[in-house]
């Protein structure tokens, strides 16, 4: 699908979490290149400064999604919300403490739900798009990452439920499922040259956001050319 041209007379606004590295960072940069105003949210202040310097259209916001006021992060006008922040504990069920379960669900799922809730009035006005960056673990769990996979299955359900609820309002909801991607989160023992580039996943996110008005891309799976095992 060809990315649709944006109205050059209107500055569109996106809120992107997890913007200091990996997929979130690439989404922020690619949207800015298309002329979008981007609110880039993350915790690494040095990385946020670099984003500010990379484009005048990027405004960084240092925030902890587990502790700070998420409503305060949402601007009055929002055309896209991208929840790319997440954590991936590599633990088995028997080794995962209650507080670790709470933390992974709080960041991977609840923070995305809260941001969507606060952004919905603006997204309804703009007939905008919500993108949840999920994972291959959101459709299939592996023995070493049950807590992460459980949170991503929940994120998938959140996206599907939100899409059904907001159909009448015109808000689009997309889930992007990246396979093994060369980000700091991925620690698998593989040849990293075979991993998906974060910029490639970001292009899928941007495609969902800028898709033509008559469609929504509900589920996008981004896989490496050769499936990897580790």
Q: For each of the chain's 230 residues, which pLDDT tens digit applies? A: 333 444 445 799 999 999 999 999 999 999 999 999 999 999 999 999 999 999 999 999 999 999 999 999 999 999 999 999 999 888 889 999 999 999 999 999 999 999 999 999 999 999 999 999 999 989 988 777 899 999 999 999 999 999 999 999 999 999 999 988 777 766 666 777 778 999 999 999 999 999 999 999 999 999 998 887 66
Alpha carbons 153 and 132: distance in angstroms, whole number: 12
Closest CA to 132 of 98, 172, 184, 190: 172
- Helix, strand or coil for residue 202? helix
Token readout for 11 is 């500055």
pLDDT of residue 73: 98
- Ordered by where they begin, the domains of the chain are 13-222 (3.40.50.720)
**What positions carry a catalytic annotation?**
148
Alpha carbons 199 and 187: distance in angstroms, whole number: 18
């Amino acid at each position: 699908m060809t990315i649709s041209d944006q109205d050059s007379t209107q500055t569109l606004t996106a809120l992107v979490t997890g913007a200091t590295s990996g997929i979130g960072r690439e989404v922020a940069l690619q949207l800015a290149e298309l002329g979008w105003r981007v609110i880039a949210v993350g915790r690494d202040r040095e990385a946020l400064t670099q984003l500010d310097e990379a484009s005048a259209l990027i405004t960084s916001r240092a925030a902890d999604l587990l502790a700070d006021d998420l409503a305060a992060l949402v601007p009055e006008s929002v055309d896209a919300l991208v929840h790319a922040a997440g954590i991936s504990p590599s633990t088995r069920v028997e080794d995962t403490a209650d507080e670790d379960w709470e933390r992974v669900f709080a960041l991977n799922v609840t923070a995305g739900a809260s941001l969507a809730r606060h952004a919905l009035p603006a997204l309804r006005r703009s007939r905008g798009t919500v993108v949840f960056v999920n994972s291959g673990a959101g459709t299939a769990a592996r023995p070493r990452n049950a807590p992460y996979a459980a949170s991503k299955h929940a994120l998938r359900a959140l996206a599907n439920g939100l899409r059904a609820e907001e159909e009448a309002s015109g808000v689009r909801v997309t889930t992007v499922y990246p396979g093994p991607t060369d980000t700091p989160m991925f620690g698998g023992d593989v040849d990293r040259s075979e991993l998906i580039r974060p910029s490639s996943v970001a292009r899928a996110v941007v495609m969902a956001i800028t898709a033509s008005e008559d469609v929504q891309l509900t589920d996008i799976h981004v896989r490496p050319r050769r499936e990897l095992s580790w």
